[in-house]
Amino acid sequence: MTAEIITGAEIAIRCLQKENVKFVFGYPGGAVLNIYDAIFQQKSFKHVLVRHEQAAVHAADAYSRATGDVGVALVTSGPGATNAVTGIATAHMDSIPMVVISGQVPTHAIGQDAFQECDTVGITRPCVKHNFLVKDINDIASTIKKAFYLAATGRPGPVLVDIPKDITAETAEFKYPENVTLRSYNPITQGHSGQINKALDLLVNAQKPMVYSGGGVVLGDASEALTEFIKLLDFPITNTLMGLGGFPASHENFLGMLGMHGTYQANMAMQECDVLLAVGARFDDRVIGNPDHFLAKPKKIIHIDIDPASISKRVKIDVPIVGDVKLVLEDLISAFKALQENTSLNLSTDWQKSINLWKQKDCMRYEDDGTQIKPQKVIQKLHEVTNGEAFITSDVGQHQMWAAQYYPFDKPRRWINSGGLGTMGVGLPYAMGCQLAFPDSQVACVTGEASIQMCIQELSTCKQFNLPVKIVNLNNRYMGMVRQWQEFFYGNRYAESYMDALPDFVKLAESYGHVGMKIENSSDIEGALKEAFSPKLKERLVFLDFITDQTENVFPMVPNGKGLSEMILADDAEDL
Amino acid sequence: MRHIISLLMENEAGALSRVSGLFSARGYNIESLSVAPTEDLSLSRMTIVTSGSDEVIEQIIKQLNKLIDVVKVLDLHDGDHIERELVLVKVKANKQYRDEVQQLSNSYGGRIIDSSENILTIEFTGTSTELDNYLKSLNSAFVVEIVRTGASGIGRGDRILKI
């Protein structure tokens, strides 16, 4: 068989085909014209033309979050690449497997300040898992293979491949490597059995145990193992913002989300437990608050994580277990089962009592006189109307926290948000990625009037690709979370947080060819949502502009730098 | 505490900036950093002198290991090791001071590697502390230029950093 000689651009496309890529999110430009020409002549994947490169990367990121597959984005050199940076950094902070291909000026022009040239590899270096500049056509295939491998294995993350234009025009033989080995990269997947036994010993002897799981459980497809583990040991459990859906929220052992806006019971149990098991979570500042305060109450901590660098980064860990969370949990389960025959757990009944008392605080209660629209109520109604089955994407701010608090997720990969970087503007492109991956599922983008305007141009993409996303805009005419901090910590000085000169969102949606609704009365919430999700509007994007109570705040709240048990509850807020 | 970290990394464009970028991005100290190819042309060896608490050093090692281009990392302070740094010092040494400078240089084990009418250039090798002490002993009024390489280190005996 004679080897097939094709262009570098065609090689890149063949690589994506070999990786079973279904969607490429991108935006053309000079440096990627050869690649686009090759895309034009293929049918194996669909190219989704966005309206801004940031949205391409966000959509690819969401596609990955929703499906577990590696998301792919394609951008041109210079501004195409710099526009992609926010999306790449967002994915990096949340460990999302993604491959971004960027065009580069021709190799001979690199370093000459050529038109649309920038040092893409240099600019993206701190916010990728790894990146490459391909300088030889014969390296395109092996580099893309490495990129997919690196993105998806170990602690996942975005990998960027920068390809100069001249390389894509040259021709060479296409040969895709079967597999890839890197001497410097060998992620540990199997947990150390000695550590697993140590962990088990602590767990079975715990009187006040607590489990806290994060995004690693979702990314590592470990939800089933985690659920079995909790059922077996009957321990209380909380999820981080990124971990929601990793354990079914409707399960009786679930204490809700923890952290800055976590529930009273979850935060108190984290603080007061004697043995803490952390699974695929990283003790970040929004989750455990002040680490010194967190450790003031002595506790033994077990930490399961794929990334050794996550161990003892902010909090000293007693029993680290480095490995794939799913495999480690399965090992823990079988070790526990083997032990179970001659051991009984000595859970303190006082512990359950304490937890029940904390629950009685009813920290998620909010005042609702039935006139002004309460944002929490909108989310609760959204949960009802979608039977808790929708993909919920969110932007960043108060609405994000309310979505996390009032839309209980029973399944992983349904809650799509920017946890680590906290990127306003992700909501709509995230919804696009989800809707393309699951065309028959309900996808709602919970957003605010500030966030939605950061990627509003994607309404056009939604029109072009017929994406019937439902946008739930909690419009309080403020950058709500900024306003909340200004109210609590800056003496009500609302510096630049009021959103003046808002567009008429109904007309805006209509001008893009979508359906717009403005909802001003609390009694209309349910009707509007039902209509938006009705068969009549099944094929349409609906922009629901809910005019909400401007003064509503997110509670509970752990002030920045405070300890987890130092929450402000709605009831205390008047004393501030 | 001061640590000397040795590492082997892929000899590829950009590998050095991945390491230096890591230190600046995470706010770790770098006292010195030196890098050169090894006997295996596909690998470079880097020596980083840094300082920090045990927790910080542990994080530095882990973060270095996490870099895809880094093949192997060794904290030389985990065992016996040898440390060497080279300094080149240029001193004003006219007739009046020439003997004095030469004597001082000899007594520390320095070597004069270049001399002109008014200038002597001395090469001195030792641990970084020895270099500090030697440089302190020179009258700063006469020192015109100092070039230090940054420390290199190697484990003692059969402690070998190799893949």
What's the angle, vertex CA A318, arms to CA A314 and CA A323, rounded to 5?
A: 80
The minimal CB distance from B68 to the residues A130, A311, A312 is found for A130
- pTM here is 0.96
Long-range contacts (CB closer than 8 Å, 24 or more residues apart) made by A351-357: A351/A207, A351/A208, A351/A209, A354/A208, A354/A268, A354/A269, A354/A272, A355/A236, A355/A255, A355/A265, A355/A269
| CA B105 vs CA A79, B114, B120, B133: distances in Å | 57, 13, 10, 12
The tokens of A167 are what? 């390389």
Q: What pLDDT, on the 0 to 100 scale, is given for residue A198?
A: 97
Q: Tell which of B9, B66, B163 to mutate to test the A interface (max A CBs under 10 Å).
A: B66
Q: Tell which of A119, A184, A306, A312 to mutate to test the B interface (max B CBs under 10 Å).
A: A184
Q: What pLDDT, on the 0 to 100 scale, is given for residue A341?
A: 73
E strand or H helix that includes residue B40 = none
The minimal CB distance from A125 to the residues B9, B21, B70 is found for B21
| CA A90 vs CA A196, A283, A425: distances in Å | 33, 18, 11
Burial profile A337-352: b = 16 or more Cβ within 10 angstroms, e = fewer: eeeeeeeebebeeebe
- pLDDT tens-place string over residues A236-294: 999 999 999 999 999 999 999 999 999 999 999 999 999 999 999 999 999 999 999 99
A311: contact with B, CB 8 A cutoff: yes
Q: pLDDT band for position A396 (50/70/90)?
A: very high
User: How many residue pairs bridge chain A and chain B with CB atoms within 8 Å of each other?
Assistant: 40
Chain-centroid distance of CA B89 in Å reads 15
Q: pLDDT band for position A15 (50/70/90)?
A: very high
Q: What is the ipTM of this complex?
A: 0.93
3-state secondary structure of B77: helix
Q: Say if the Cβ atoms of B63 and A311 lie within 8 Å.
A: no
Q: What pLDDT, on the 0 to 100 scale, is given for residue A574?
A: 62
- Which residue in this structure is represented by tokens 């920017």? A418
Identity of the amino acid at B49: V
- pLDDT tens-place string over residues B5-45: 999 999 998 899 999 999 999 999 999 999 999 999 999 99
Q: Is the pLDDT of residue A534 over 60?
A: yes
Q: Which residues of B touch A (CB under 8 A)?
A: 9-10, 13-14, 17-18, 21, 25, 55, 58-59, 62-63, 65-66, 68-72, 163
Find chain B residues with C-beta within 8 A of A149's C-beta. none
Nearest CA in chain B to A306: B66
* Rounded average pLDDT over A311-315: 95
| CA A313 vs CA A128, A160, A285, A287, A538: distances in Å | 20, 26, 11, 14, 47
* Rounded average pLDDT over A483-507: 96
What's the angle, vertex CA A322, arms to CA A316 and CA A323, rounded to 5?
A: 150
- pLDDT tens-place string over residues A415-456: 999 999 999 999 999 999 999 999 999 999 999 999 999 999
What are the catalytic residues of A?
53, 115-116, 165, 481
